[in-house]
Amino acid sequence: MASWPKSSWKKLTHVTDWYKTTSSCYVPRWGRLVDRLCSTQNTFKLYRSDSRNTFCRRYSASSSEYYFPGAVGAPYTDKLECIAGEKEGRIPCFRIMNEYGEISSTVSKQHHPDHQLEPVMMTSMYQHMLKLHVMDTMLYSAQRQGRISFYMTSFGEEATAIGSAAALETADVVFGQYREQGVLLWRGFTYRDFCNQCCGNALEPAKGRQMPVHYGSKELNFVTISSPLATQIPQASGYAYGMKLSNSRNITVCYFGEGAASEGDFHAALNFAATLECPVLFLCRNNGYAISTPAKEQYRGDGIAGRGLAYGIDSMRVDGNDLWAVYFSVKEAKQRILETGRPLLLELLTYRGGHHSTSDDSSRYRQKTEIEMYSERLSPLRRMKRFLEFRNRWNEEMDQSYVEEQRRELLSALEEAEKAPKAPLEDLFNDVYDELTPHLQQQKTKLLEFLSRQKHPTESS
């Protein structure tokens, strides 16, 4: 039988000490809100949530007080206190590289790209962001030209996908929402793979059954996308639990948006992961909009990271447009998850530069000036380009020729995908079950018999 890592027990005592000095949460015995975080900048902070185990250990043996099972260790007070639901300060946002591509002068070596990464890796990350941007631009146009039926771009969120993907291993299993094509791109999914799926041809694994952008890859450990929102989050908890039982040294990573975090599945998933100690990284891409609904109409509290404490899950907030902040936070998150065997919530603040999808026109609900401000000034691509230019590793000319080369590659992949045959009709009935049931067999026979004697709409009509 699989063994269960016990390491978390000892770590927890350190957590309690750590608490006293840095954490922003309600701590028993001190009975006050310790909040020193707002004053710190460029300091990597992790919001330590508490553990039921810590409370039990600290209080059950030594104290003579009786505690209710729902909150063991909650100190008694004769002053009626109402804990504020809204705080004035906000959880700070970890950022290393500012909008001009300059690295903070106070950032630690541990989080400094020049100290931690090879130049080749840095360039490669930027190139992947560019590739993602080119692919999105081209496939968006392809939809507008009627060549594919639907598309969703990652404009403005290139750093969330590439930064997080680069910090993980391919063996870390990804449950995505739908705007994480950059993760696949980093892992080696080719333009051809993307185009085959978007064209729904016979060469794509799901045999053209799903709408465009519902990618999946077994070998790249990317679980096939489904349209319902947030359903992947509790599944990621379950998958992570299985990984832990199997003594895996990898984690499960679950991407979702701040809108999806309003679904019940989000709550269930975090609560399950916390209580059952699942090694899963919850990665929220808070891009400010759920289709047209702005974040301020989505939740009242301090974003998504602010919820970690309530679930007993450690959480971080990071500038999602800063590739380095994303990269280092995900690296650290993974390490902590593996050390503690417990989940972690990472909120990446970013901005959806494009429309929700090709079926959406975001100019109807947001100002052009707003889009321009985020898309130009806070562009993750622009930041990274400047970063590389400062180091003489990239320039405008290289940028243009690289983009041109990628455009050509993508176009040829798209043309090939368009020409590829559609999956055979049998695949309408296959894969519903592991084997064709008598009912499906009968229905298939009837359809084939019908088609043998009747004309039916052909593909071209």
Partner 1 sequence: MNITSTVATVAARWSRCRFLHTSSSILCSQVGLAVEQTIQQQLGSSPETTRMNLFTAINHALSTALETNDKSVVFGEDVAFGGVFRCTTELQQRFGSHRVFNTPLSEQGIVGFGIGLAVQGFQAIAEIQFADYIFPAFDQLVNEAAKYRYRSGGLFDCGGLTVRAPCGAVGHGGLYHSQSPEAYFAHTPGLKVVMPRDPIRAKGLLLASIRDKNPVIFFEPKILYRSSFSQVPLEDYQLPLGKAEIVQSGTDVTLIGWGAQVHVLCQVAEEAKEKMNISCEVIDMMTLLPYDLETIVQSVKKTGRVLISHEAPITNGLGAELAAALLEPCFLYLEAPIMRICGYDTPFPLANEKYYLPSKEKCLDAVVQLIHY
For partner 1, the binding residues (CB under 8 A) are 1-2, 4, 175, 204-207, 209-210, 214, 216-218, 223-224, 226, 228, 231, 233-243, 245-246, 252, 264-265, 267-269, 271-272, 275-276, 431-434, 437-440
Judged by beta carbon, residue 218 or residue 419, the one nearer partner 1 is 218
DSSP 8-state code for residue 101: S
The distance of closest approach from Cβ of residue 27 to partner 1 in the complex, given in angstroms and rounded to an integer, is: 24
DSSP 8-state code for residue 133: H
Residues facing 316 on adjacent strands: 346
Q: What CA–CA distance (Å, rounded) separates 333 from 347? A: 11
Element (H, E) at 223: strand 222-223
Judged by beta carbon, residue 71 or residue 121, the one nearer partner 1 is 71
Residue 102: what are its φ and ψ, rounded to 5°? -95, 135
The distance of closest approach from Cβ of residue 439 to partner 1 in the complex, given in angstroms and rounded to an integer, is: 5
Judged by beta carbon, residue 432 or residue 451, the one nearer partner 1 is 432
Judged by beta carbon, residue 5 or residue 75, the one nearer partner 1 is 5
- Letter for the amino acid at 317? R
The distance of closest approach from Cβ of residue 304 to partner 1 in the complex, given in angstroms and rounded to an integer, is: 18
Judged by beta carbon, residue 25 or residue 440, the one nearer partner 1 is 440
Q: What CA–CA distance (Å, rounded) separates 339 from 80? A: 39
The distance of closest approach from Cβ of residue 205 to partner 1 in the complex, given in angstroms and rounded to an integer, is: 4
Q: What CA–CA distance (Å, rounded) separates 229 from 297? A: 18
The distance of closest approach from Cβ of residue 182 to partner 1 in the complex, given in angstroms and rounded to an integer, is: 20
Asked if 230 and 266 touch (Cβ cutoff 8 Å), the reply is yes
The distance of closest approach from Cβ of residue 297 to partner 1 in the complex, given in angstroms and rounded to an integer, is: 23
Residues facing 347 on adjacent strands: 284, 317
Asked if 164 and 245 touch (Cβ cutoff 8 Å), the reply is no
Q: What CA–CA distance (Å, rounded) separates 435 from 161? A: 37
Instruction: Give the full edge-to-edge strand order of the sheet including 314-319.
Output: 222-223, 173-175, 252-257, 280-286, 344-349, 314-319
Q: What CA–CA distance (Å, rounded) separates 336 from 260? A: 25
Judged by beta carbon, residue 107 or residue 225, the one nearer partner 1 is 225
Judged by beta carbon, residue 121 or residue 171, the one nearer partner 1 is 171
The distance of closest approach from Cβ of residue 214 to partner 1 in the complex, given in angstroms and rounded to an integer, is: 7
- Tokens 């989080």 belong to residue: 111
